[in-house]
A = this chain, B = another copy of it.
Amino acid sequence: MKNFNYYNPTKIIFGKDKIKQLSSELPENSKVMITYGGGSIKNNGVYDEVIKALDGFDFIEFGGIESNPKYETLMQAVELVRDEKVDFLLAVGGGSVIDGTKFIAAATHFKGDPWDILTKNSEVKFALPLGGVLTIPATGSEMNSKGVITKSETKEKYAFDIPLVFPRFSILDPAVAASLPKIQAANGVVDAFSHIIEQYLTYDVNQPLQDRFAEGVLMTLIEEGSKYVENSADYNVAANIMWAATMALNGLIGAGVPNDWSSHRIAHEITALHNVDHAQTLAIVMPGVMSVMREDKKEKLLQFGKRVFNVVQGDEQQRIEETIEKTDAFFRSLGIKTRLSDYNLGEETINTIVQRFADRKTVLGENRNITPQKVREILNDRL
């Protein structure tokens, strides 16, 4: 196992009717800004529940944070926070809203250009406190200090990880998933799945427990995923998916192990260029990374196949092929298409992405050996 620090101070409040407890988690006398997305919370009852729970608090609202939250939108929120002297942010939504709210928290009192937080990793020395009411199990943002922000002007997408923006609390009521469209439910499962793969499918550093945990989350997503997409109003199923998605990216399974994240880096480019859903781009890219990087990932691919998909027949290459195909088939079983051509994308997109990585001199992967040329092979594999 590698040396690591693990720290996660987010309080998780999980279960039925937990939104009612909101007021007891907010600092007294705070001026709250509720942030949300396109307004689905006004249709599914969550908005009303939150407003009711905020009775007695001074609060304002900022709606309209989009999927793949945009820097430009968030900077409008930052101005509002400054003008209104907001001192607590309450994100009500899925990963995009929580990601965006974290960025607002970090940017509000940042000295200098907040874009530098994303592109130059500039240190954030103060952040507004925030809490979350999760409405879509997917990204794990409810229990980590990460986020991804897109600049629409330049079609760039960047990730951040800022210890000060862990939510103080996150309320996870699985009942909120009841009204999710199937595609959002499926996207959430694939997103969580991808987070584990990035932290698990690398190489061995003698970490049997982290492997077992990662495999446990994967098996839970596989066992519950189809049921959830079929009927996200099944509370028990939604609860299992919600908890699995949170555990997939809260620092635990990645502690002390090599991390990859190449699928995300490549997938982010497709989303930034063509606005394809984050999970869909991951479903395209992941099997390609597994296939092209199969020598680097050989032992883990075999273990993944055996323990998660019960792939035990054939020689090593056959088992690896079968494992990749089962991964691809799992995504498709949820209704997520896994080929570039399914989204009318092809050579041109590949060329643009490869050029971007070449321009930035970026190499990816746990062994830092996924060159732009390898990115081309990966995407060619997914035409």
Chain A residues near B (Cβ < 8 Å):
1-16, 18, 206-209, 212-213, 215-217, 219-220, 223-224, 236, 239-240, 243-244, 247, 252, 255-256
Closest B residue, CB atoms, query A218: B212
A6 to B236, CA, bound (A): 18
Say which residue of B7, B11, B239 sits within 8 Å of A1 (CB atoms): B239
A256 to B217, CA, bound (A): 16
**A223 lies within 8 A of B244 (CB):** no
- Residue among A206, A216, A244 with the most chain B CB within 10 A? A216
A8 to B12, CA, bound (A): 9
Contact partners of A219 in chain B: CB under 8 A: 208, 212
A6 to B252, CA, bound (A): 14
A15 to B247, CA, bound (A): 22
A171 to B339, CA, bound (A): 46
Taking the closest CB of chain B, its distance from the CB of A367, in whole angstroms, is 21
Closest B residue, CB atoms, query A211: B216
Taking the closest CB of chain B, its distance from the CB of A5, in whole angstroms, is 5
**B216 lies within 8 A of A212 (CB):** yes
**B6 lies within 8 A of A18 (CB):** no
Contact partners of A212 in chain B: CB under 8 A: 212-213, 215-217, 219-220
Contact partners of A208 in chain B: CB under 8 A: 219-220, 223-224, 240
A217 to B1, CA, bound (A): 15
- Sample of 5 further A-B pairs with CB below 8 A, known A3-B15, A207-B240, A209-B220: A6-B14, A14-B255, A208-B219, A208-B224, A212-B216
**A206 lies within 8 A of B236 (CB):** yes
Contact partners of A255 in chain B: CB under 8 A: 12, 14
Closest B residue, CB atoms, query A210: B243
A23 to B161, CA, bound (A): 25
- The 8 sampled A-B contact pairs (Cβ below 8 Å) are A5-B11, A8-B8, A12-B255, A206-B239, A208-B224, A209-B240, A212-B215, A213-B216
A13 to B256, CA, bound (A): 11
- A5-B11, A14-B256 are contacts. A217–B223 as well, Cβ < 8 Å? no
The 7 closest A-B pairs by CB, nearest first: A3-B15, A212-B216, A7-B11, A9-B9, A6-B12, A206-B236, A209-B220
Contact partners of A240 in chain B: CB under 8 A: 1, 206-209
- A216-B216, A220-B208 are contacts. A5–B1 as well, Cβ < 8 Å? no
Contact partners of A13 in chain B: CB under 8 A: 5
A4 to B21, CA, bound (A): 12
A244 to B219, CA, bound (A): 20
A236 to B209, CA, bound (A): 12
Closest B residue, CB atoms, query A207: B240
Closest B residue, CB atoms, query A6: B12
- Residue among A18, A217, A239 with the most chain B CB within 10 A? A239
Closest B residue, CB atoms, query A16: B3
- A6-B11, A7-B12, A14-B6 are contacts. A1–B236 as well, Cβ < 8 Å? yes
Taking the closest CB of chain B, its distance from the CB of A205, in whole angstroms, is 9
